[in-house]
Amino acid sequence: MNNLSLINKALRLCLLGFIALQANTLSAAGKAPPSLKEIKVPHVNKLKDFVSKEKEVILLGKAFFWDLQAGSDGQACASCHFRAGADLRVKNQLAPGLIRENNPDTIFQPTASFGQGGPNYTLVGDDFPFHQFNDPDDRNSGVAFTTNDTASSQGTFGGKFVSGGDDGLNDTCDNFADPVFHVGGIGVRKVEPRHTPSVINAVFNFRNFWDGRANNVFNGVDPFGLRNGNARVFEKNGATRKVDLRNSSLASQASGPPMSDFEMICTGRKFAEMGRKLIPRKPLLIQQVHPNDSVLGDKRDKDTGLGLKGTYEELIKKAFKKEWWEGTGDFDGFRQIEANFSLFWSLSIQLYQSTLISDKAPYDEFAKGKKEPFDPQDGKTDKLTAAEFRGLQVFLDKGKCINCHKGAEFSGAASVLQAENQENGLVERMIMGGGGVALYDNGFYNIGVTPTNEDVMAYLGQEDGDLAIMHRCGG
């Protein structure tokens, strides 16, 4: 058994029932975290090899993120990340236990409010939480209700890709009802197996996704970083080049949904085919753009109020260096600008999301000017109400929330902390409430929100020993 599988085993063993943790080396007990205003967006190396004008890249990224033309059947990134970067829809938002270990559950269950649940069900307040005790204050009082269904986000209908965007908005697909997501044989949109997190402040995560599978290194093509040794982008003479952009988990992440037949596409659509569809198009074709939009306002098509002036081709050419799009040869059956579409799409969405930072929360005003952990009494206490200040004290002391929700980002999975971890070791030891010691990946913890065998999208990283059955600290 090598070290990694030992760690794997240790991680699987240290499970539930310990919320009260004692201070560990990284968190200064009782100290308040700095203001997010003081934290810089992590530096992306070699960005200048690709990007010519950062402002234009952000504009392109915002258009891509919100554009309903992007998916095969009307899905944009924003379809699931539209309110505070997350999703508040309640209809058709349930998935059965699809990521359970060994035997995925494809059967939907009734809900806590005695609702029917399943496809097209509209969730109500009384359906939450999904695991309930007879007495909410006593975990030994017996389970009143539980389900392994999850509330998440609806994505695409089932279907096989045929060709791109013929009817204006959608791709042509051979549609068929998905065996799991249908009502009486009529297909509904498939629903993701995990909650949709906010994209706001996601730029501070060292790796993205609950299990960290969106790699810190972007390879130009897909979410898997250097683990995919075959990932290449095209130079203009037809040669190929490896890409390794650090601090680019958001670009790795953005390359995922356009390849996912749950989230955005009919099965089998290639990235370059998405490029072929979007490149000649008017950005945000059927969507209203607000004249005061801080990024898109100036580019708005004033005549119609819909979409932006020009085409994606023009935006890409303004934003990215010409050696990545001016080639005229044959690039695996595509134009160079199409063949490198994963690069333009993912980097521009990363740069757009890097501007989505919530550093004006009352807490950030309270901690304004503080770069290091500080005594909460030294904060600008008039910026918090008395109740908020008491809550902060519980968060820091009695609740020990700060042990996992560390730093200005309130997450131990943040880049700055993870960078320290690279030096201090990727694995941390924590003293449990019961006195024992548990071993964790830094920044990832199994807190028993769901039984472990109900969510095992675990993977074992090759280059950094990252293992994630654990969920990253929310933030």
**Interacting stretch for ligand HEC, rule CB under 6 A, among 304-312, 336-344, 357-365, 398-406?**
398-406
Q: How many CA atoms lie within 13 A of 131 on its CB side?
A: 10
Which long-range contacts link 165-174 to residues 24+ away (Cβ below 8 Å)?
A: 165/69, 165/277, 165/281, 168/285, 169/68, 169/69, 169/74, 169/285, 169/286, 170/72, 170/73, 170/74, 171/72, 171/73, 171/265, 171/266, 171/269, 171/277, 173/72, 173/73, 173/266, 174/266
Separation between Cα atoms, residue 351 and residue 392, nearest integer Å:
32
Q: Which is nearer to ligand HEC, 198 or 240 (CB)?
A: 198
User: Could you say which of 204, 210, 325, 331 contacts ligand HEC (CB under 6 A)?
Assistant: 210
Q: Is 26 in the site for ligand HEC (CB under 6 A)?
A: no
Q: Tell me the HSE value of 266 on the side-chain side, using a 13 A CA sphere.
A: 20
Stretch 41-70 residues interacting with ligand HEC (CB under 6 A)? 65
Site for ligand HEC in 304-363 (CB under 6 A): 349
Segment contacting ligand HEC by CB under 6 A, of 179-187, 189-197, 270-278, 280-288: 189-197
Residue 194 engages ligand HEC in binding (rule: CB under 6 A): yes
For residue 415, state whether it binds ligand HEC (rule: CB under 6 A).
no
| Residues near ligand HEC (CB under 6 A), total | 43
Residue 324 to residue 322: CA distance in whole angstroms: 5
Q: What angle do CA 383, 386, 389 make, to 5 degrees?
A: 70
Compute the least distance from the CB of residue 236 to ligand HEC, in Å: 26
Q: Choose the binding region for ligand HEC from 163-171, 230-238, 258-266, 460-468 (rule: CB under 6 A).
A: 258-266
Contact in structure between 378 and 84 (CB atoms under 8 Å): no
- Could you tell me which stretch among 35-43, 278-286, 334-342, 395-403 binds ligand HEC (CB under 6 A)? 395-403
CA end-to-end span of the chain = 35
Rg (CA), the chain: 23
Closer to ligand HEC by Cβ: residue 127 or 211: 211
Residue whose tokens read 């494809």: 106
Q: Is 14 in the site for ligand HEC (CB under 6 A)?
A: no
When asked if residue 27 is in the footprint of ligand HEC (CB under 6 A), the reply is no
CA distances from 102 to 293, 453, 456 (A): 48, 9, 9
Check binding of 418 to ligand HEC (CB under 6 A).
no
- The answer to whether residue 77 forms part of the interface with ligand HEC (CB under 6 A) is yes
d(CA 101, CA 456): 6
Binding of ligand HEC at residue 205 (CB under 6 A)? yes
Q: Does 97 bind ligand HEC (CB under 6 A)?
A: no
- Binding residue (CB under 6 A) for ligand HEC from 7, 36, 202, 347: 202
Residues 6+ apart with CB under 8 A from 418: 206, 207, 442, 443
Q: Least distance to ligand HEC from the beta carbon of 65, Å?
A: 6
User: What residues make contact with ligand HEC under the rule CB under 6 A?
Assistant: 19, 21, 65, 75, 77, 79-81, 152-153, 155, 192, 194, 196-197, 199, 202, 205, 208-210, 250, 253-254, 257-258, 263-264, 349, 395, 399-401, 403-405, 445, 447, 449, 471, 473-475
